[in-house]
């Protein structure tokens, strides 16, 4: 297989393979490892404050001299209201009681204690640190942010889950589009019409390829050479790898979480809004079942902020029923090898076709 294409040239890569920016999983060490084998490492910045973003970027730079992408959440924050505050208080009480019943006494933050950060705060920090590739999800960047980043020669990679979203990104002068299939692990990148597009990844990729003219990255279910080549056949120039790296040596997941991954059955993988208020694909557990069947799910990022301390406590107590373990539908062995070795094996296997 010939790896060189428009994307490798644009992003200065040897291989058009992108390590997915999995917040809570991808570490500076994982990002650096991906870059060292000629792939694109992606550092997840989520909705961290600007100072934290700069700190993480610098930590990654110390590990690799090669370029890497940073990933941000391009969502709008719902305005506070009396109704939202009331819903928050009820959700807080419900979740605290649920946790208490399962021997996880936790004090969740009150509404006024929440610290919410917009991607607009992150843009200047990203520019100041000299980042040349920015990917984003949960929405589209606003025009001033796009103009500011592109004025500094930053390559922008947006995320779509429908043809309409892909077209909106192209119309906004986004350089590259990551097509996320419904089978992909973690959060949906959906941002239009208030509904969840559920098109299968390969079908969506084929339609997007026929609808836009910018280079495409495909994310969703790639776990071996055949799945990578399938997406290439349908128009992808880049291939984003997420679930395959969950068990890697550099993954931030703890051993009990990696062990749960290796035991997972296909019937246990679900879409849920319970932890964050946005749909995400992961392993069903006690928390997901209880909250999804309740009326206590707030819009993102409020639900995400509300459950943060519970997830932190559950992780410290190695309790898989109250942590969010995200993964896609393509179950693999979740190798504990170093990231570089996992990627090298994928590259070698693909080159044999």
Q: How confident is the model at residue 234 (pLDDT cuts 50, 70, 90)?
A: very high
Q: Which residues have C-beta within 8 Å of that of residue 168, sequence separation ≥ 6?
A: 140, 192
Mean pLDDT of 307-311: 98
* Mean pLDDT over each residue of the chain, to the nearest integer: 97
Residue 347 has pLDDT above 90, yes or no: yes
Share of the chain above pLDDT 70, in %: 100
Average the pLDDT over each of 5-19, 72-86, 105-119, 184-198 and give the range with the smallest value: 184-198
Query: Between these two residues, 195 and 340, which has the higher pLDDT value?
Result: 340
CA distance 150 to 145: 8
First to last CA, the chain: 6
Nearest to 19 by CA among 37, 39, 38: 39
> What domains are there in the chain, each with its CATH number?
1-77+116-249+333-353 (3.20.20.70), 81-115+265-326 (no CATH)
Instruction: Say whether pLDDT at 290 is over 80.
Output: yes
Helix (H) or strand (E) holding 162: none
Indicate if the pLDDT at residue 108 is higher than 80. yes
pLDDT, mean of residues 73-100: 97
Rounded mean pLDDT, 332-348 = 97
Residue 48 predicted with pLDDT over 90 = yes
């Amino acid at each position: 297989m010939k790896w060189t294409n428009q994307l490798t040239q644009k992003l200065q890569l040897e291989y058009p393979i992108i390590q997915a920016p999995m917040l809570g999983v991808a570490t500076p060490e994982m990002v650096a490892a991906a870059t060292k084998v000629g792939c694109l490492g992606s550092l997840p910045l989520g909705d961290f404050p600007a100072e934290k973003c700069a700190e993480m970027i610098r930590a990654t730079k110390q590990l690799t001299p090669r370029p890497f992408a940073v990933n941000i959440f391009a969502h709008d924050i719902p305005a506070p209201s009396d109704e939202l505050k009331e819903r928050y208080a009820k959700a807080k009480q419900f979740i605290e009681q649920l946790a208490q019943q399962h021997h996880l006494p936790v004090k969740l933050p009150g509404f006024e204690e929440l610290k919410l950060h917009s991607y607009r705060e992150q843009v200047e920090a990203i520019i100041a640190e000299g980042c040349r590739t920015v990917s984003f999800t949960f929405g589209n960047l606003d025009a001033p942010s796009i103009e500011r980043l592109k004025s500094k020669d930053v390559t922008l990679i947006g995320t779509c889950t429908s043809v309409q979203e892909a077209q909106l990104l192209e119309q906004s002068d986004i350089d590259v589009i990551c097509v996320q299939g419904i089978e992909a692990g973690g959060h949906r990148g959906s941002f239009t019409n208030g509904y969840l597009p559920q098109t299968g990844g390969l079908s969506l990729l084929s339609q997007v390829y026929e609808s836009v003219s910018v280079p495409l990255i495909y994310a969703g279910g790639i776990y071996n050479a055949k799945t990578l080549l399938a997406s290439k056949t349908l128009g992808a120039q880049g291939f984003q790898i997420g679930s395959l790296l969950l068990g890697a040596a550099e993954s931030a997941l703890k051993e009990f979480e990696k062990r749960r991954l290796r035991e997972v059955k296909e019937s246990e993988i679900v879409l849920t809004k319970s932890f964050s208020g946005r749909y995400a694909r992961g392993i069903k557990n006690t928390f997901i079942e209880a909250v999804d069947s309740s009326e206590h799910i707030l819009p993102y990022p409020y639900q995400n902020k509300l459950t943060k301390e519970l997830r932190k406590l559950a992780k410290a107590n190695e309790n898989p029923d109250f942590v969010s373990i995200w993964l896609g539908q393509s179950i693999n062995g979740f190798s504990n090898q170093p990231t570089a070795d996992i990627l090298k094996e994928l590259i070698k296997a693909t080159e044999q076709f």
